[in-house]
Amino acid sequence: MKVVDLYNRFRNLILYGIIGAMCAALDFGIYSCLCLVIPFLLANIISTHVGIICSFLLNRYYNFKVKDKTPQRFVSFYLVGLLGLGLSEVLLYLFVDIFDWSNLLSKLFTIFIVALLQFLLNKYVTFKK
């Protein structure tokens, strides 16, 4: 199988990963700054909302290229994001308060777990053509 064929087959996943990495970096940067002044779980809520909005806009325009039903798709994407936020909050609580991990390391770890779940839900629900 050629590289071009592989890219075409996994284009959505590749672009979702690139866009996700950019929005996750934004999320993590905001989280890191906010952790200096507010509790880590509140910082996670705020930074995750920014990441969700960033990810929706970039995935809508550049990855899935689906521009119809924007309000419905945003609500669906946002609900998937909130599901991810809930999972992230539980994991952060467990890793930081129960297992005594660093809050920054814990955030990085949870980003990867949540991103996989969100990709599958967004691909097959939110941006389904």
Instruction: Give CA angle at 73 (84, 116), nearest 5°.
Output: 30
Q: Is residue 10 pLDDT above 80, yes or no?
A: yes
Q: What is the pLDDT of residue 112?
A: 85
Residue 13 neighbours by CB under 8 Å, 6+ apart: 119
Residue 28's pLDDT band (cuts 50, 70, 90): very high
* Domain region containing 90: 3-126
Residue 1's pLDDT band (cuts 50, 70, 90): low
Residue 19 neighbours by CB under 8 Å, 6+ apart: 55, 58, 59, 62, 63
DSSP string spanning 37-96? TS-HHHHHHHHHHHHHHHHHHHIIIIIS---SSHHHHHHHHHHHHHHHHHHHHHHHIIII
Q: What is the pLDDT of residue 115?
A: 83
**pTM, to two decimals:** 0.82
Split into its structural domains, the chain has a count of 1
Tens-digit pLDDT profile for residues 87-129: 999 999 999 999 999 999 999 999 888 888 887 887 788 777 6
Q: What is the pLDDT of residue 76?
A: 86
- How much is the average pLDDT of 62-87? 88
User: Considering the chain, what is the average pLDDT of its residues?
Assistant: 89
Q: Please state, in angstroms and rounded to a whole number, the distance separating the CA atoms of residues 35 and 54.
A: 20
Tens-digit pLDDT profile for residues 37-55: 999 999 999 999 999 999 9
